[in-house]
Structure 1
Amino acid sequence: MKLLETAMQKVSATPTFARIAPSVVPRLDKAVHRLSGGKFMLSQWMLPSLFLTTTGRRSGEPRTTPLACLPQGDGFLVVGSNFGRTSHPSWTGNLLADSDAVVEHRGRTVPVRARMLADDERADAWAALLRMWPPYAQYQARVEREIRVFRLEPR
């Protein structure tokens, strides 16, 4: 399993993966989740994962996104890496507009409040996230923007 994880990390850090993954990985995660009756996500075999439902800042409609996460106590850290693409993922803008969201993790649904991290708190969270998934460093190196990091805490 370690060999597979190392291989996936190398592939995930490439610009080609950043171009292809955003249109493929979320769809696969959603399909596996639906077919398994909400029990599994494709990405959970590589990383802890969750589904985050935000309110669309323009539409006002619920928007559900599969994300890697780092569980911490009863909350989670999530990263707006967008696979190392130049723009922030839309779910991060949704959270900045309305911090209330819902997380589905391991069959549990939890209302959460999101807080974007800054300064030392972000630096500490970023270090923990890099230990979990080293390709985040390559994602950050490819973009000029600072990748957004959020803490999701139960409401």
Structure 2
Amino acid sequence: MLYGKEHVDRYRATDGKEGHDWNGTTVLLLTTTGRASGREHTTPLIYQRHGDDYVIVASKGGAPESPDWYHNLTANPEVQVQVEGDRFTARARTATPEEKPEVWRLMAATWPQYDDYQAKTDRDIPVVILERAGG
């Protein structure tokens, strides 16, 4: 099973032919700029489409803190996204309280463990909307 750097490398090398379809769901590559280092970091993440946007979840498996990539995009919301062979710049934002119930249901339908992750942490797990730049 692909995971971490190997997942990113195979996804990039094959335009997502290897790595996009993963464990019964779909994965994109998110590249953020490190808020301290200024270096690019790429993470494979489960996603779904919501209209023209892409939706991802900052679950970190239900850990008490959000993942580094989420802290990076809150500091610098301009991100790079790859969905299969489509590479584009996007603006990342956290779903509003009004938007969250709908996009959470969308994501939990594709990856039911998200509900388990939320149940095991006191943190309100953020859902992130990726809006294609110029879109």
Bin the TM-score by the shorter chain: 0.7 to 0.9
TM-score (norm 2): 0.87
| In structure 1, C-alpha distance between the alignment counterparts of 2:54 and 2:12, rounded to whole Å | 23
* CA deviation profile, 1:29-68 (whole Å, cap 9, x unmatched): 2243256465321753521110000111001111111100
Superposed counterparts of 1:108-119, under 5 Å: 108-119=86-97
Matched, 1:145 2:131: no
Flag the 1:102–1:31 CA change in 2: closer, same or farther, 3 A.
closer
**SS, match of residue 93 in structure 2:** strand
Match of 1:47 in 2: 25
Aligned equivalent of 2:52, options 74, 87, 93: 74
Identity %: 33
- Asked if 1:130 corresponds to 2:98, the answer is no
TM-superposed CA distance for 1:111, in Å, is 0.6
Q: 1:100 aligns with which of 69, 78, 85?
A: 78
Correspondence for 2:3: 25
Whether the 8 Å CA contact 1:33–1:40 is kept in 2: the answer is: yes
Asked whether 1:154 is paired with 2:132, we answer yes
CA contact (8 A) 1:29 1:42 kept: no
Normalised by the length of structure 1, the TM-score is: 0.77
Runs of 4+, deviation exceeding 3 Å: 34-39
User: Structure 1: how far apart are the matches of 2:105 and 2:38?
Assistant: 34
2:40 to 50, 62, 77: 62
Deviation at 1:133, TM superposition (A): 1.3
Closer, same or farther: CA 108–136 of 1 in aligned 2, 3 Å: same
Q: 1:42 to 1:26 in 2, by over 3 A?
A: farther
Q: Provide structure 1 residue ranges, at least 5 long, that are not aligned to the other structure.
A: 1-23
Contact 1:78–1:149 (CA<8 Å) still a contact in 2? yes
| Greater fraction helix | 1
State the 1:115 CA deviation: 1.0
Which sections of structure 2, spanning at least 5 residues, go unmatched?
none
Higher CA-based Rg: 1
Q: Give the paired residue count.
A: 132
- Corresponding position of 1:8: none
RMSD: 1.9
Q: What is the rounded CA distance, in whole Å, between the counterparts of 1:74 and 1:42 in structure 2?
A: 18
Supply the distance in 2 between the matched residues of 1:91 and 1:134 (Cα, whole angstroms): 22
